[in-house]
Structure 1
Amino acid sequence: MPLRSHTKSRKGCDQCRTRKVKCDERGPPCSNCTARELSCTYLKVAAARASHSQSQSQSGTPAPLPHVKSVSRENSRTRLNGTRKEVVDSPFQKSELTILELMHKFSTETFRSLCVSASELEVWQTTVPNLALKHDFLMNGILSLAAMHIASSREPPEAFAYLDIGLQRYNRSLKPFRDAIDSLTEQNCDAVFAHSIIMTAIGIASPRLTGIRDESSSMTESMVVVFELLQGVKKILQVGVGQSWINLELFSRGAFWKDTSTQLDEDTHGALAQIDALNDEVMTGIYESQHQINREIIAHLRHCYAKFALEPEPAPALAWLAAVRKEFVDGLRCRQPFSLLILMYWGVLLGELDGRRWWARDAGRALVSELLGALRPGDPRWQPALTWAQQRMSL
């Protein structure tokens, strides 16, 4: 009767030996330990080899040095290779390192550019990133803004690489952000509010950054998108789903919009009075409804100029963006000349942030220059208003 071949594993791992099951001897880890997520070691095999080596050395026969395989679950990962899993070193992927780099940039530098006061430092450095862990659109917004911040300080082609990352993250955030606006709750309203501000900074910064790649980029179109996105801020107030952690009075009829005792300089006061009078002169009659909207928006703009003269921070410029009516945004979208003129005057205010915030660098100048090219009317009544903006931006 022929003898059966030996089926026991002589070099099985410690776990399989203890459990008295057949080991495939392919580890560490073997397939049994992999399936059960056990620590796979071969210490008993090494001890047996060492004992065998000692007996051989006593008999005068040299033995090979024992080789012990070890595995650290903390520093390794499993990779499927056919039907076999192997433990391999686990370096960070490039995409993972990029995310770490962008989060570090935001939490150490970028967040400061979004603060309108010292009281908001902790909010933007700690609270917002924590919110982003629960809302993908906000996380993508943070990563997008940080990528553009890095791109703004680099030279091509490195700047292009970060710009592409920023635009990709921005695009990923748009649909879920709009979905969140359409279904506001107490759980997501803070994230929606934070993302609105981040998107404003992105909208102001992106045309200048894409311009370094000789791409056609319109500041006016970008600002129309910003106006539309900021309607979500108003919706938070309208539906009353909760009080945000940032002072919403910047975007409502609260303390920010109360009368200020600060007087504008004579030049700015005269320019705003001039555009107000021009509105009365050319936007009456069939444009009466738009005339009233323009009066309100110019009054808001005058107030924001006064607030900026009192405290030169981003709040006045951002507050005006969120204060305008939907009808004004519709006029911008249709390239209505007087709406473009008012936006140009806001562009002069935006220009005052140049040097104070990286995302506003050259943005006001670019917007005013673009609108000057679009507003070249034959009506001489428009010329003084255009000249003022041109001179203030040194164009």
Structure 2
Amino acid sequence: MSPQPSPYWHGREEGRNAKGQKTIRELSKSPVRVLVTADQYKLGLEVTDGRGTGRHAIPPIPYQVSSWMLGGRCSFLDSDPLGGPLVQSSGESSSSTPQASASAQSPEQKSDSLNLYDEELIRRWSEVTCFTMDDRHEVFPMWQVTVPGLALNQPFLKHGLLALAAMHIRYTSPLPLQTKYLDLASQHQDRALEGYIPQLQDITPENYHALFAFSALLLAIQYSFISVLDGEIDSHKYVAEVISVFEYVIGATVIAFEGEVWLRQGGMKPLMERGTEPQSILPELIEDPRTVLGSLLSYLRHLDEKPGPSSETETTANMPIYVRSIEMLTNAFPTEDSERRMLDDMIGWPHYVGADLVRLLRAQDQMALVILAHYGVALDAFTDIWWLEGVGARLVHGIARMLPVEFIPLVQWPLDKVSTGASMKHMYII
């Protein structure tokens, strides 16, 4: 997914401030003039004007303004909320900075080495990565402006943004550099979780939006790590990694429930906006998934009507979970309405199904794994989103290796789909 050009700016000018530090400003066509101060405009971002003076911070953050459109720099690049430096300003490009190394370094040295790359990573986030978080254009400003604004006062969210940006750079880097950016991403993710987990014990109006933003960001981060797992990893471990993402989805739901009123009144509101609650849309699907999911439901109902051995009796007991899982899964597949956006429904499927399916998957319930294989087809159709590339196909193949031979016919369609590749991808609007 490529970022959409902003209608507000059309160029960039580089220079030096009075201290000899490199500055960058966008040449703007917007009503907001460059080199403004926050006393003149209630921009809601902590900004430094082009002369290196006049830092201000005024909430709230408006969706329509990005830091680059202000003709200055977002101070997210200049200072940690706790007071430490994030970027060593210099005239050199980020490509000339020494590679971070974990060997023979004190914790302080590791921190300094890690911080050397922050400017490169946040630029990647604001110019490219933020546009890969959703398939709805109206959500882009939230990820480009609102979420980095929240990160000014929440270091765990800052580290989460930098972790995903590092993984994105890794994705587009030549092989010799991939290990470097994977290491950077891992370090930022470790720091993000260190700050995120304790705050879950005390959710307040002050930290709620940042917690919810990170819970949404965490899905992309985890999938990006899964997408680069060693090809030799055991199938059981690979499937378990995907299931762990489902638990993060459910965790995000808990956070949303804790402060739904705050969420609907704040900058993360776009993530809560949905026209209708998901329900079975099987009759509306295009022919291929409609036929396959319909046949799977018919197979389950047949088992329910004619229970047999003890294993089938257990299947019957779990029937409501299976049926609801398939009905909700219909939302992750294309309908005749070619304009329908499905990424949120696909990512949110574990939430709509609930923890019962996750419990069955953790127990390696065979029918639950069959349903998960069909979900893998939906994942695979979104491989234009870099952090999902290869995840769906490997999930389907991993499940096929885990299932007894008598269950293979039930996953033949998923296997065929991920093997042929592009047969469904063109039906998704990315």
User: Which residue pairs with 1:247 in the alignment?
Assistant: 270
Structure 1 gaps, min length 5: 1-88
Q: Is residue 172 of structure 2 the alignment partner of residue 143 of structure 1?
A: no
User: Which residue pairs with 2:411 in the alignment?
Assistant: 386
User: Which residue pairs with 2:29 in the alignment?
Assistant: none
Cα distance in structure 2, aligned partners of 1:167 and 1:111: 19
CA shift digits 1:162-200 (9 cap, x unpaired): 011112222222243233333322222222222122111
Q: Is residue 322 of structure 2 the alignment partner of residue 294 of structure 1?
A: yes
Summarize the alignment of residues 1-395 of structure 1 with structure 2, pairs less than 5 Å apart: 94-211=113-230, 218-241=237-260, 242-244=262-264, 245-249=268-272, 255-257=276-278, 263-282=284-303, 285-306=313-334, 310-355=339-384, 357-375=385-403, 377-379=404-406, 382-394=407-419
User: Given that residues 374 and 411 in structure 2 are in contact (C-alpha distance below 8 angstroms), is that contact kept between their aligned partners in structure 1?
Assistant: no
Cα distance in structure 1, aligned partners of 2:290 and 2:188: 41
Provide TM-score, normalisation by structure 2: 0.63
- 1:306 Cα deviation after fit: 4.3
Cα distance in structure 2, aligned partners of 1:157 and 1:360: 22
Provide TM-score, normalisation by structure 1: 0.68
Cα distance in structure 2, aligned partners of 1:287 and 1:343: 15
Cα distance in structure 1, aligned partners of 2:410 and 2:157: 40
3-state DSSP of counterpart to 1:210: coil
The aligned amino acid for 1:257 is P
3-state DSSP of counterpart to 1:394: helix
- 1:330 Cα deviation after fit: 1.5
> Would the alpha carbon gap of residues 232 and 182 (structure 1) be closer, same or farther in structure 2, given more than 3 Å must change?
farther
Percent identity over the alignment is 25
User: Given that residues 145 and 166 in structure 1 are in contact (C-alpha distance below 8 angstroms), is that contact kept between their aligned partners in structure 2?
Assistant: yes
Cα distance in structure 2, aligned partners of 1:276 and 1:255: 23
3-state DSSP of counterpart to 1:353: coil
- 1:249 Cα deviation after fit: 4.4
Cα distance in structure 1, aligned partners of 2:121 and 2:344: 25
> Would the alpha carbon gap of residues 135 and 290 (structure 1) be closer, same or farther in structure 2, given more than 3 Å must change?
farther
User: Given that residues 192 and 232 in structure 1 are in contact (C-alpha distance below 8 angstroms), is that contact kept between their aligned partners in structure 2?
Assistant: no
CA shift digits 1:31-59 (9 cap, x unpaired): xxxxxxxxxxxxxxxxxxxxxxxxxxxxx
3-state DSSP of counterpart to 2:126: helix
Cα distance in structure 2, aligned partners of 1:286 and 1:211: 35
Cα distance in structure 1, aligned partners of 2:292 and 2:145: 42
Structure number with larger C-alpha Rg? 1
Q: CA RMSD in A?
A: 2.8
Cα distance in structure 2, aligned partners of 1:221 and 1:246: 31
User: Given that residues 262 and 306 in structure 1 are in contact (C-alpha distance below 8 angstroms), is that contact kept between their aligned partners in structure 2?
Assistant: no
Deviates more, 1:258-267 or 1:362-371: 258-267
Greater helix content: 1
Matched pairs, number: 300
CA shift digits 1:73-107 (9 cap, x unpaired): xxxxxxxxxxxxxxxx9968643331111111111
- 1:134 Cα deviation after fit: 1.7
Deviates more, 1:324-333 or 1:179-188: 179-188
